[in-house]
């Protein structure tokens, strides 16, 4: 498995409007991509940072993963996403090692990527996402 780069950092936020206003105020920067991800019960906004990005996450359901995170820990860094060259191989290798996965198989994520999350109990408390860019 090869980790190519940090694709993005995910940040849980109470609201995207507020997050966008803050990024504009701090850095004069707008989102270059917004997307609803109903399966994850979030709305997302991506901000370019060099070859990486910040992904702000607004929960659309208190029972969703980000809603629960916000209730438990409050706003802040939610996950780190590593880009891999072959997500099927990466996930198979982890599963074969007995690593606890939130997604034992890759699934569709934002941006047309395929993603899989490793359970934070395996990573020292940091939720890690693996992602392979789509062929779009």
Q: Which residues bind Co ion (CB under 5 A)?
A: 10, 55, 81, 129
C-alpha distance across the termini of the chain, in Å? 23
Say how far apart CA 113 and CA 121 lie, in whole Å: 24
Q: Are 106 and 88 in contact (CB under 8 A)?
A: yes
Strand order in the sheet with 33-37: 33-37, 42-49, 52-59, 3-13, 76-84, 127-132, 114-118, 107-108
| ∠ Cα 71 18 29 (to 5°) | 130
Nearer to Co ion by Cβ, of 20 and 110: the residue is 110
Least separation in angstroms between CB 128 and Co ion:
10
Shortest separation between residue 3's beta carbon and Co ion, angstroms:
15
Task: Tell me how far, at minimum, the Cβ of 106 lies from Co ion, in Å.
Answer: 13
Which residue lies nearer to Co ion by CB, 58 or 129? 129
Judged by beta carbon, residue 28 or residue 122, the one nearer Co ion is: 122
Tell me how far, at minimum, the Cβ of 74 lies from Co ion, in Å.
Answer: 19
The answer to whether 47 and 62 have CB atoms below 8 angstroms apart is: no
- Residue nearest Co ion, CB atom distance: 10
Q: Closest CB to Co ion among 8 and 20?
A: 8
């Amino acid at each position: 498995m090869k980790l190519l780069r940090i694709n993005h950092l995910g940040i849980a936020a109470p609201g995207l409007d507020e997050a966008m206003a803050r990024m504009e105020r701090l850095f004069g920067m707008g989102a270059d991509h917004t997307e609803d991800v109903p399966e994850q019960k979030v709305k997302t906004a991506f901000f370019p940072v060099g070859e990486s990005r910040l992904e702000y996450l607004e929960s659309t359901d208190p029972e969703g993963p980000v809603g629960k995170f916000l209730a438990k820990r409050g706003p802040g860094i939610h996950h780190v996403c590593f880009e891999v060259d072959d997500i099927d191989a990466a996930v198979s290798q982890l599963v074969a090692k007995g690593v606890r996965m939130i997604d034992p198989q890759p699934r569709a994520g934002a941006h047309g990527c395929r993603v899989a999350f490793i359970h934070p109990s395996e990573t020292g408390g940091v939720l890690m996402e693996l992602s392979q860019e789509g062929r779009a």
